[in-house]
Amino acid sequence: MHSDIETKVISGAGEWPRPTSRQQMLVWSRLGVQSFGGGTATLALIRRAVVDELHWITAEEFTTYWALVLMVPGINLLGLTVLIGKQIGGTKGVAIALFGLLFPSVTITILLTALYSKVQHSHSVVSALSGVIPATVGVGLFTSLQIAFPVLKNCTKRGAKSLTIALALLLGSAAIEAAAHWPVVAILLTSGALGAATQFAGAPKRDRQK
Amino acid sequence: MHFLVYLWLFFKASLFSTGGTGNLPSLHDDLLPRHWATNRQFAESLTIGQISPGPSGLWVISLGYLTAGVPGSLLALVAITLPPLLAIGVRRLYQRVRHHPSAEGFMQGLALSICGISAVILCILLRSNGISIKSLAISIAALSLAATKKIPIAVILAIAAIAGIITF
């Protein structure tokens, strides 16, 4: 670590006076309160704040961080929050970022759920949910497709064989989930291993295909 | 209900998945047979997660509350906060393993599998809520609106709520 990291944030955007813990907390908790509408809204708000308004990190760094956290287990937005917090304030910055973002949003989520538990049998709530639940399924299907889409696109570029393997893994996982009673982790790890094995076989220097 | 087992199931689901709802298949698989959650509670908590602020991954906070009250939601919070800390280590490894073919292949196989399994589970959730022409039409309309990427998710759900009230 640089000695001057104590006072300055060094990023591709230049050197900036390091925001105080209080300033960091204010920014993250503002994001935690305002980001109604799930992940899409939260990602857009974080980006606007830390890249466009505060210049804590550059647009390029933001993109790199996002690509990286897609490979990290768990909620990608929390991984992103961890990386930005780390860059701005080190380990303490990580704690501030997570607490600032999660305290308001988790509290509101619990309150919404509690409120829902109270009113769930009222006629207007039941009728509204008869529309909202199918819509959540539709939105969820799109989010799932978005996870697979970059992979399918990548495989299409590589050729028919690669795309066939990809579709087989996607549809095979769906079929096993629908018809067999495998533990989900087993399906996931099998698919990952098959993906690794087929990529491995296709790599030019290490052709181990049997 | 054992709270340590409960915490472990939520933690495991988060650790072996990626994305806000990547933990859905694993939790569904573990909680349902134990009768610790119902399909209805899954559908409702996913909905609340889409509306409330923060990552939509906070849906598990809602699931925790519905299935085990405030302690449940706090255990869920612990379970989802720990795995993303691995981002720090992954950033360090980034330069070294980024282009290794088998690492890349593993991540891609995982992503495809998550998509396939999630699609099946979402269809099960829809079925448990009652399949009708109305519910299918709303699902497809919501998917199409989400695909434009221009309409905030909260707005799509608000439109669906109004559609639900009008057609009930």
- CB distance A142 to B144 below 8 Å: no
What does the alpha-carbon distance between residue B73 and residue B66 come to, in Å, rounded to a whole number? 8
- The pLDDT, as a whole number, for residue A206 is 41
| pLDDT < 50 stretches in chain A | 1-6, 204-210
Average pLDDT, chain B: 88
pLDDT average, residue stretch B19-24: 83
Residue of B nearest to A154 (CA): B108
In B, residues 122-141, which contact A (CB 8 Å cutoff)? 122-123, 125-126, 129, 134-136, 138-141
CB contact A162 to B (< 8 Å): no
Global model pTM greater than 0.90: no
Give percent of chain A above pLDDT 70: 84
What does the alpha-carbon distance between residue B111 and residue A70 come to, in Å, rounded to a whole number? 10
pLDDT average, residue stretch B43-70: 91
Question: What are the residue ranges spanned by the domains of chain A?
Answer: 3-119, 123-202
Q: Which of B15, B52, B154 sits opposite A108 (nearest CB)?
A: B52
- The pLDDT, as a whole number, for residue B140 is 95
- The pLDDT, as a whole number, for residue A64 is 77
- CB distance A140 to B45 below 8 Å: no
Inter-chain residue contact B105 with A82, CB threshold 8 Å:
no
User: In this structure, what are the phi and psi dihedrals at residue A17, rounded to the nearest 5 degrees?
Assistant: -60, 135
What does the alpha-carbon distance between residue A12 and residue A2 come to, in Å, rounded to a whole number? 16
Inter-chain residue contact B112 with A148, CB threshold 8 Å:
yes
Q: Going by C-beta distance under 8 Å and a sequence separation of 6 or more, which residues neighbour residue A129?
A: A120, B44, B47, B161, B164
- CB distance B22 to A143 below 8 Å: no
> How is residue A4 written in tokens?
């001057």
